[in-house]
Amino acid sequence: MTHGADEFPPRLFEADKKIRRIAAGLLTCTLPRAAWTHEAHLAAVVTLILEHPELDLEQQLPGIISRFNESVGGVNDDTQGYHETLTQFWIANARAHLCANPGRSLLDRVNGFIASEQGRRDAPLRHYSRDRLFSVEARRHLVEPDLMRFEWAMQDDAPAPKL
């Protein structure tokens, strides 16, 4: 499964400062719409997990992303904008990746996730059929994968991701 990942090779970050600016811009709705790329999504999730433990991302990120989308003129409806299943997938995938790769700098952890199999643009399609993943139901609600269960590689003392 390479659609998307090979067509669009990952763009890595050069500095922690740029990564933190993305997360801050998402939270304050000041990030330019064009900067909200796949890599920015992943960078924001990793940064929020590592540096904002006060946030319950599984509960709060949906509202944060929806609010951001609207602030840049986007719409959150049945075909565009916020996508619940993808958001929860990326949170869980980031948590699993971070548990398996502890103790490095923010830059290394973000770039490591982006460059990993877990961070590939097509990673959700290993678990979900295209029809299921891009259904209205999956956009509006968390749906279970229909192709492959999740096998999170977690350290013994780490809680499993919530997906």
pLDDT digits (tens, 9 = 90+) for 106-156: 999 999 999 999 999 999 999 999 999 999 999 999 999 999 988 754 445
Q: Position of tokens 């643009």?
A: 121
Nearest alpha carbon to residue 84 among 22, 13, 163: 163
Distances from the Cα of 48 to the Cα of 7, 44, 60, 134, angstroms: 28, 6, 11, 26
Tokens found for residue 136 = 């209205």
Give pTM, 2 decimals. 0.89
Q: What is the DSSP letter of 36?
A: -
DSSP secondary structure string for all residues of 1-59: --TTTTTSPPPPPS-HHHHHHHHHHHHHT-S-GGG--HHHHHHHHHHHHHH-TTS-HHH
Q: What is the DSSP letter of 56?
A: -
Q: Does the pLDDT of residue 88 top 90, yes or no?
A: yes
Nearest alpha carbon to residue 121 among 108, 133, 107, 131: 133
pLDDT digits (tens, 9 = 90+) for 23-76: 999 999 999 999 999 999 999 999 999 999 999 999 999 999 999 999 999 999
Q: What is the DSSP letter of 99?
A: H
